[in-house]
Amino acid sequence: MEHFSQFLLCITIHKISYTLMDYAPNGDLFEAVETKRIPFNERLVRSYFQQIVTGVEAIHSNGAAHLDLKLENILLDNEFNAKIADFDMCYFPEDRRIMSRGTQNYRAPEIIKGNCQNAQAADVYSLGVILFLLKTK
């Protein structure tokens, strides 16, 4: 998948699971935004946001939701393309209820309150936070 970090291997050692994903030589969007090593002009913000939205649409088209979308989980490949990573909080249709998942400042209010009925809508809220941070940092 074009907008996802490639999953390579998952192993469990002493009841702790480790996931190996492809290397992201340019770090993540959080680091890029905080260090200002990439000039985030309007065109670049739109490009990154479109890449992220395209990836989230693919997740949602399968009935799932990421539920931990944040700048730290958007990796940058060798060509500085955005790749969504860290799927351990994902919600799948067979899940009975939507637990309080994700990172505090990116979580939708209904996730925080514990009454979320639509995990995909919660992802859209997180996308809004990401866009806000890309535009204002």
Residue pair 17/10 in contact by the 8 Å Cβ criterion: yes
Q: Please, which residues have CB within 8 angstroms of residue 132's CB and are 6 or more apart in sequence? A: none
Q: Which of 53, 85, 51 lies closest to 68 in space, CA to CA?
A: 85
In the chain, which ranges are continuous DSSP H helix? 29-35, 42-61, 109-113, 119-136
For the question of residue 68 being annotated catalytic, the response is yes
Candidates 68, 86, 95, 123; catalytic one? 68
Burial class (CB in 10 A: 0-12, 13-18, 19+), 91: buried
CA atoms of 41 and 86, how far apart (whole Å): 27
Active-site amino acid positions:
68
